[in-house]
Structure 1
């Protein structure tokens, strides 16, 4: 699980490690857009996508800063409802992955564009059952496709990136179809925005937001789409 007890010295050392180790420093890159994408239905106002790529704090934080995304919720996908709790998922034995469900306007951003951001800055898709300091199947790289079309687009894109040898090694990303998504505990929502100085966030996740801004300026928005704000507007 994610350690919250990092000293200032550890923070500085880890920050240096981020830029010194090629697998970390080079993981953020704008990969080519997918050659195939979903066509936005004229009547569709919102669509959803579910991605897993390590700790959901960072993945949620990235997509909350993407134009066209109205909500990005941290949760669990891939396992049974009765085990969809942080303490259980953290054992790595429930079949879940920490995941994020993204609600977006297909007239503003496409599913393919979300995938491009996911593979470029949200995580390192070459790491198998881990992401940075976190290890276990709950941190796997997985696209939880909500329908056959999403699954086809994701699989084709993975094949495209592998064929082009974008990362120099095969992607570890898998595609799982029609797996239920369960919303995580409230204290996990908006975690990056609420705790920007927490060492884990500062080391592992804030650089992703910076890379999103640099690599995808056309898709970046400074104001995050916060879960708690969405809840407040509905109350």
Structure 2
């Protein structure tokens, strides 16, 4: 994959709500990527795209609830833009060309999706996907869906800060750490300080 371009369209800081919900496979590793970014004030793992009654890990893992594993990213638009977060989402957090999977994680709960909260987010996300497809940067069509955010359901407490709290866990070592390394290489100026 060649270098991923900056979005041609972005939200002006004064129009940016500072909150986005993203699905990019297992939330443990996606959470770790966004927690490392400057301007991100909070990352919460959860579920979106299904009903409240089945918004729990055991049910979502069946792949039959309509949910995706997601993260809710809260951020300061004066420090990091919506477009920059999308660039990290597409370029580092996951492979957006995989349909209903990420690596060995299979099922619609691992789909790639941007859960938009308003028309402005939708327009920027759709424009960026079209731009990336035109650029051919991925060598395959982007499978990411744009879905309306109807509700965000916070995941169980043990899923929160998972990579931070479990740095030696094999999945974290094999999946999250390479993404963090890639983030440091591709976005050194976007990393949060210690």
TM-score, scaled relative to structure 1: 0.80
In structure 1, distance between residues paired with 2:149 and 2:73? 15
Shift of 1:187: 0.1
Deviations 1:113-172 (A, max 9, x none): 000000010001011100011000000000001111101100110010001111111001
Residue of structure 1 in register with 2:11 after alignment: 38
Match of 1:217 among 164, 188, 191: 188
In structure 1, distance between residues paired with 2:94 and 2:146? 15
In structure 1, distance between residues paired with 2:137 and 2:152? 30
Shift of 1:47: 1.2
Match of 1:199 among 162, 170, 173: 170
What residue ranges of structure 2 are gaps of 5+ in the alignment? none
Cα RMSD (Å) of the superposition? 1.3
Shift of 1:178: 2.7
Match of 1:179 among 144, 150, 154: 150
Q: Contact 2:49–2:149 (CA<8 Å) still a contact in 1?
A: no
What residue ranges of structure 1 are gaps of 5+ in the alignment? 1-25, 224-235
Residue of structure 2 in register with 1:120 after alignment: 91
Residue-pair matches, total: 194
Correspondence list, 1:140-151, <5 A: 140-151=111-122
Q: Contact 1:148–1:177 (CA<8 Å) still a contact in 2?
A: no
* Structure 1 segments (4+ residues) deviating >4 Å: none
In structure 2, distance between residues paired with 1:179 and 1:96? 11
Residue of structure 2 in register with 1:155 after alignment: 126
